[in-house]
């Protein structure tokens, strides 16, 4: 009998998504692959789910060629008609929300409510992009020359390359894909090598919508593969925009390669996020918020709270209440309805967790709670951890470890807390808990948080799709999802139209 989890009755949702023991990992209107065959592993028990044949660089080239052909057709489709296709993709995702959410939990390791929530995020962005398709706007300016009309025109780029990370293997692609399609681009997606089944299942759902509308499947191409595929996408002039989500270290390399060819790049990188709790904070709000932000997805969100900066007057009370919350955490199989904390994604994450714990001790930190791998469980489970006693600028505190480690720091006042919030390299998400109106407005002002997401009395995690998502500094500066982030996926033309019989020059220049 096969050892693959896909054959166990409990995981029947895998076959409902069109997956099998052996899966083909490249799609450009047809399914094929000529690369290495790998096993997708379940982080909760380290057992293989199914196998996937990855793509080669030659397979990548085939995808690009088909994408170019598909764009010739897609760019001529009126934007509201493109929005209608995106709407249908959202409806198809609604149909498969439960099995796809289960797959995300099984392959990535996040708990089921978060897996389902990730699919819902893709659905919500489809709704957003559908409306956007009727509101893509340009500006009209008054011309200084008589008989002239001055305006902006926005046009699609062409191929948008999307490189997404393991921790959000569905939603991050969804942000980019739905808005790119509404803008008139075609997409070429390389998901994380460790979550290939989510990439394949998601692509099958989208491909069925394109097929039903007699549209080329290469409008949404996909290739499973490793760093060689990401490198090729980064240096390929045919890919007009590369949207990369992942670590700062890899993002820096992607940025350099794309910029070298003067391509466009959209970066969503790390976030060493802080929550500040002042002495006037409502702790009934703050403690649950810190708890979710620090241990949700086992600390594997880019918006995870990794530093907790607490006013000295409430420090002991916050530590005590938070420790109690940690002690009541229900750890287990991500697919079980009672579980609120699952495993780390792989052994590499466990190793980085253990190294950070060791380094924190060497620097004089105290492991107030947790700090160990959970040996009695299968899979990559570690204890959620609270570390106290470290300086705000300790190297390990400034290092973003993608694991459930929370460093608690004691501050004297808001100015000191803001300084510590801003001193790390990353600038993604931040939160302040206070009921003081002056503190709240200082926090969002020019001398407040320097992050792209600046929250008040809510956690660092859990962004809504209506606002632009992204950060500053080493986080990359990119913005995805809502607001005017659609502009990143288009090129702007300033158009001057002369409808007169004269040729006046700007600035009153005479050239006669």
Closest by alpha carbon to 270, among 470, 80, 46, 496? 470
Q: In 3-state terms, the chain is what percent helix, strand and coil (to 5)?
A: 40, 20, 35
Cβ–Cβ under 8 Å, residues 107 and 40? yes
- Helical segments of 26-139, H only: 57-74, 79-95, 97-108, 112-132
Residue 150's DSSP bridge partners are 141, 496
Residue 200's DSSP bridge partners are none
Tokens (6 digits) for 459 = 């956690």
CA distance 261 to 379: 42
Which residues participate in catalysis according to the annotation? Answer: 268
Place of tokens 């530093």: 307
DSSP output for 396-450: HHHS--SSSEEEEEEESSHHHHHHHHHTSSEESEEEEE---HHHHHHHHSTTS--
Query: 366: burial class by Cβ within 10 Å (0-12, 13-18, 19+)?
Result: middle
CA distance 111 to 297: 7
CA distance 383 to 372: 6
CA distance 7 to 413: 57
CA distance 261 to 232: 12
Helix or strand or coil: residue 393? Answer: coil
Place of tokens 């490189």: 163
CA distance 69 to 326: 54
CA distance 97 to 95: 6
CA distance 404 to 306: 8
Please count the CA atoms within 13 angstroms of the CA of 320 that sit on its side-chain side: 5
**Torsion over CA: 19, 20, 24, 25 (sign):** positive
Altogether, the residues listed in the chain come to a count of 512
């Amino acid at each position: 009998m096969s050892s693959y989890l896909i054959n166990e009755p409990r995981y029947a949702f895998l076959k409902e998504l069109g997956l099998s023991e052996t899966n083909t990992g490249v799609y450009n209107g047809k399914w094929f692959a000529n690369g290495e065959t790998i096993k997708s592993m379940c982080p909760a028990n380290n057992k293989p789910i199914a196998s996937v044949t990855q793509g080669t660089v030659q397979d990548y080239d085939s995808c690009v060629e088909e994408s170019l052909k598909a764009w010739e057709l897609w760019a001529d489709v009126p934007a509201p008609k493109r929005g209608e296709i995106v709407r249908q993709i959202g409806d198809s995702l609604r149909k498969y929300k439960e099995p796809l959410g289960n797959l995300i939990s099984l392959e990535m390791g996040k708990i089921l409510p978060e897996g389902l929530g990730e699919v819902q995020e893709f659905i919500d962005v489809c709704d957003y992009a559908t409306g956007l398709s009727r509101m893509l706007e340009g500006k009209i300016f008054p011309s200084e020359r008589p008989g002239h009309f001055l305006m902006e025109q926005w046009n699609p780029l062409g191929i948008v390359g999307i490189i997404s990370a393991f921790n959000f293997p569905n939603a991050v692609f969804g942000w980019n894909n739905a808005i790119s399609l509404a803008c008139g681009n075609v997409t070429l997606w390389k998901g994380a090598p460790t979550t290939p089944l989510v990439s394949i299942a998601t692509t099958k759902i989208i491909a069925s919508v394109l097929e039903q509308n007699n549209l080329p499947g290469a409008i949404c191409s996909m290739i499973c593969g490793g760093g060689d595929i990401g490198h090729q996408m980064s240096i390929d002039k045919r890919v007009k925009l590369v949207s990369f989500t992942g670590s700062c270290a890899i993002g820096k390399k992607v940025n350099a390669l794309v910029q070298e060819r003067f391509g466009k790049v959209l970066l969503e990188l790390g976030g060493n996020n802080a929550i500040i709790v002042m002495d006037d904070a409502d702790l009934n709000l703050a403690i649950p918020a810190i708890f979710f932000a620090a241990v949700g997805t086992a600390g594997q969100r880019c918006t995870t709270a990794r530093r907790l900066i607490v006013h000295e007057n409430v420090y002991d009370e916050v530590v005590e209440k938070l420790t109690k919350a940690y002690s009541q955490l229900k750890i287990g199989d991500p697919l079980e309805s009672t579980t609120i904390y699952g495993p780390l994604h792989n052994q590499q994450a466990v190793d980085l967790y253990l190294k950070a714990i060791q380094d924190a001790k060497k620097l004089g930190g105290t492991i107030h709670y947790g700090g160990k791998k959970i040996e009695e469980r299968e899979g990559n489970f570690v204890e959620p951890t609270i570390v106290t006693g470290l300086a705000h600028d300790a190297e390990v505190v400034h290092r973003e470890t993608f694991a459930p480690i929370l460093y608690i720091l004691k501050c004297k006042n808001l100015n000191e807390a803001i300084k510590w919030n801003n001193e790390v390299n990353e600038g993604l998400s931040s939160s302040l808990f206070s009921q003081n109106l002056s503190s709240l407005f200082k926090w969002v002002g020019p001398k407040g948080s320097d992050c792209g997401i600046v929250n008040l009395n809510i956690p660092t995690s859990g962004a809504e799709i209506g606002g632009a998502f992204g950060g500053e500094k080493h986080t990359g500066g990119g913005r995805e999802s809502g607001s005017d982030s659609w502009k990143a996926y288009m090129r702007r033309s300033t158009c001057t139209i002369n409808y007169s019989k004269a040729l006046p020059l700007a600035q009153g220049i005479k050239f006669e």
